[in-house]
Homo-oligomer: A and B are copies of this chain.
Amino acid sequence: MGKEEAGVGAPRTRRARATLRDVAEAAGTSRSTASRALGGHGYVAEHIKKRVREAADRLGYVPDASARTLKGSSSGLVGLLVSDLRNQFYAELAAGVEHTLSAAGYQVVLADDHGDEHMAQNGARAFLAMRADGVLLAPVGRAATELLVEHETPVVEVDRRSGVRGCDAVAIDSEHGARAAVEHLIALGHREIAVVIDETKWETGKGRVRGYRAALRAAGLPASRRHVLDLGLTPSDHQEELARFLDRATGVTAVFAANNVVAELVWQELKRRGSGVPERCSVVSFDDLGWMRMVEPGITAVRQPVFEMGSRGAELLLERVGNGGRRRSTEVLRPELVVRGSTAAPKH
């Protein structure tokens, strides 16, 4: 008795998983014919094709992706690395990426580095191991991007630019957005404007400070270092630090919060100390989240097309996958100022 007979008649000895071989046998053809019939390439007689398809259905056949990847040149996988999925910004980014990629038939492998460069590298290595066709990164450093680029994996950096050559990027025009926000405050009559931010080492943060400074300069206002608070990314006593900053910042009539995280902090602190917004202090945020139109008064904010940025990044990546030789491009998306109630002319 050959081993093929094993289990015949045995109660429910389910075959672990139907393979192309099983389908071919059931349909009475060779494996390659079955492959062609299912894959739709090459010539296969119509009636055979039908027979194979039926056999495949009957057996619940699902082609093995690993085998395909091993054999072929594409894994159908794209890596996505974000800094913090709990932050709505990244969640929306991920949604945009997923949307475009899944529509194109790719699977998204998600990794969250929690802002840690070491974890980012681990993620990159994993993407490499699974032969990801491409990777989207919101990097925390150069290392992950470099590793990937060295191994000739197409990379698109999203929202941040590490400066590594050989990758595409899509980002928001931080400088422009910040400048628009601060110009709006200046137009209302504010003269002493504070900026609160949590990182200034990447292009994103740098750009926002540049935009802030540019607006002041253009209006002939002095840029005091006392008006800049960089909280840093390491989670610490940010609330308290902000409180002390505001205590010291006498004369300040408006605050520019450089992203949604610090905007939340600023809003809470201002509310806590009963500084009326906008009567005693105007607030404008870079990044427009749902809650900002839910609170009273609504928060004036620079709206970034975050979902679109993710989906555009994915498109850029797909182009690269289709045509590796294309020259690298950086796409810059324009944000837009949405004026709500949190900004008004200063009382004095």
Q: Which residues of A contact B (CB under 8 A)?
A: 14, 16-17, 60, 62-67, 69-70, 75, 77, 80, 84-86, 88, 91-92, 94-95, 98-99, 102, 107-112, 119, 125-126, 128-131, 150-152, 264, 267-268, 271, 290-291, 294-296, 307
Task: Tell me the complex Cα distance, A112–B80, Å.
Answer: 14
Q: Which residues of B contact A295 (CB under 8 A)?
A: 291, 294-296
Contact A294 B268 (CB under 8 A): yes
Q: Which residues of B contact A128 (CB under 8 A)?
A: 62
- Rounded to whole Å, the gap between the CB of A52 and the closest CB of chain B is 18
A296 to B, closest residue via Cβ: B296
Given A91-B86, A296-B295, are A63 and B129 neighbors across the interface (CB < 8 Å)?
Answer: yes
Copy count, this protein chain: 2
Beyond A70-B70, A98-B111, A291-B295, 11 extra complex contacts between A and B, CB < 8 Å: A17-B151, A65-B66, A66-B131, A85-B92, A85-B94, A86-B307, A99-B112, A102-B119, A108-B109, A109-B110, A291-B291
Task: Tell me the complex Cα distance, A95–B126, Å.
Answer: 18
Contact A85 B75 (CB under 8 A): no
The one of B85, B107, B111 in contact with A130, judged by C-beta atoms closer than 8 angstroms, is B107
Task: Tell me the complex Cα distance, A75–B69, Å.
Answer: 13
Q: Which residues of B contact A291 (CB under 8 A)?
A: 290-291, 294-295
Q: Which residues of B contact A69 (CB under 8 A)?
A: 66
Contact B111 A65 (CB under 8 A): no
- Rounded to whole Å, the gap between the CB of A91 and the closest CB of chain B is 4
Contact B65 A67 (CB under 8 A): no
Given A86-B95, A110-B94, are A131 and B64 neighbors across the interface (CB < 8 Å)?
Answer: yes
Q: Which residues of B contact A294 (CB under 8 A)?
A: 264, 267-268, 291, 294-295
Contact B95 A107 (CB under 8 A): no
Contact A290 B264 (CB under 8 A): yes
Contact A107 B126 (CB under 8 A): yes
Q: Which residues of B contact A111 (CB under 8 A)?
A: 98, 102, 107-108
Contact A95 B70 (CB under 8 A): no
Contact A65 B108 (CB under 8 A): no
A129 to B, closest residue via Cβ: B65
A86 to B, closest residue via Cβ: B95
Q: Which residues of B contact A152 (CB under 8 A)?
A: 14, 16
Contact B129 A62 (CB under 8 A): yes
Subset of 19 A-B contacts with CB under 8 Å: A62-B151, A64-B129, A64-B131, A65-B129, A65-B131, A66-B66, A66-B70, A84-B95, A85-B95, A86-B307, A98-B112, A107-B109, A107-B111, A108-B109, A109-B109, A110-B110, A268-B294, A294-B294, A296-B296
Q: Which residues of B contact A98 (CB under 8 A)?
A: 85, 110-112
Task: Tell me the complex Cα distance, A108–B94, Å.
Answer: 13
Task: Tell me the complex Cα distance, A125–B107, Å.
Answer: 11
Q: Which residues of B contact A129 (CB under 8 A)?
A: 62-65
Q: Which residues of B contact A107 (CB under 8 A)?
A: 109, 111, 126, 130
Q: Which residues of B contact A119 (CB under 8 A)?
A: 102
Which of A14, A91, A108 has the most B CB atoms < 10 Å from its CB? A91
